[in-house]
């Protein structure tokens, strides 16, 4: 829907392959998902990159807020890596942000901690299109900001756990890492987003994100099977082999996600222990 280049699948896969071994945590953002959030929650018929980037800006701001402001439970950037990445390659947390409220429709009544927490588990608020209900969570980090107290957070998380709607892998404790920052979200004056008292950004490492890789790989395959546009890259000094190497690496990444999502002990394996 918002695409600046037809070769985006090539660029995404080549970049991911090249940076996979060198980055500790990478937050994925899917233009289509953010486009839909803008249309649905902000009533913008034709979102522009400015609209998309303002929403992404809120997420970057939430992730780095603990470096800049004080709070009850501050989260250091290195803690994301420690708490969200079980294996070096599985380092693509899914970001979700709530509430996304348009300045025209600003609620007279602010959303409670429990409401914004529940909203984080709605696929419609995610920054990548995938369905976590079909996948398993490995780790979950909730970054609250504004008028939020630990008691309300504990109550909200208890409600989420009691619903049993979210499934964790069996080799990981169902722990939620929580950060609370007292600085409420700041919005661009005259922008699309309403000023709210409290907000939350959830970073979850879930196997469902493999759906996004599968979609990207499929788009790559459609073009690469015909070697479409490859000559532009070769003309810039790349070798064609780099394409297939990158694609194989991404296939391996999909497999990695599949493996971490499978239960550790199957009935067949029990006898071996």
Catalytic residues: 79
Q: How far apart are CA 62 and CA 145, in angstroms?
A: 8
| Cα 108–chain centre separation | 29
Cα 86 to Cα 34, 138, 139, 244, 259, distances in angstroms: 27, 8, 8, 27, 13
Pairing state of beta strands 137-146 and 198-206? Answer: antiparallel
């Amino acid at each position: 829907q918002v695409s600046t280049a037809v070769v985006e699948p090539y660029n995404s896969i080549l970049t991911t392959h090249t940076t996979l071994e060198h980055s500790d945590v990478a937050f994925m953002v899917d233009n289509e998902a953010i486009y839909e959030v803008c249309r649905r929650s902000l009533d913008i018929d034709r979102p522009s990159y400015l609209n998309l980037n303002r929403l992404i800006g809120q997420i970057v701001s939430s992730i780095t807020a603990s470096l800049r402001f004080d709070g009850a439970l501050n989260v250091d950037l290195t803690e994301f890596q420690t708490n969200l990445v079980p294996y070096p390659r599985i380092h693509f947390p899914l970001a979700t942000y709530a509430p996304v409220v348009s300045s025209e429709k600003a609620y007279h009544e602010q959303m409670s901690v429990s409401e914004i927490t529940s909203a984080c588990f709605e696929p419609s608020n995610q920054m990548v299109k995938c369905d976590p209900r079909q996948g398993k969570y490995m780790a979950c980090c909730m970054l609250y900001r504004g008028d939020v107290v630990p008691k309300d957070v504990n109550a909200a998380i208890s409600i989420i756990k009691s619903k049993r709607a979210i499934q964790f892998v069996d080799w990981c404790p169902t722990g939620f890492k929580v950060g609370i920052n007292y600085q409420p979200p700041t919005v661009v004056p005259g922008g699309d987003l309403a000023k709210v008292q409290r907000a939350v950004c959830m970073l979850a490492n879930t196997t469902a994100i493999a759906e996004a890789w599968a979609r990207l790989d499929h788009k790559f395959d459609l073009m690469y099977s015909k070697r479409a546009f490859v000559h532009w890259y070769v003309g810039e000094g790349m070798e064609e082999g780099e394409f297939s190497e990158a694609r194989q690496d991404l296939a391996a990444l999909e497999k990695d996600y599949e493996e971490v999502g499978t239960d550790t002990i199957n009935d067949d394996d029990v006898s071996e222990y």
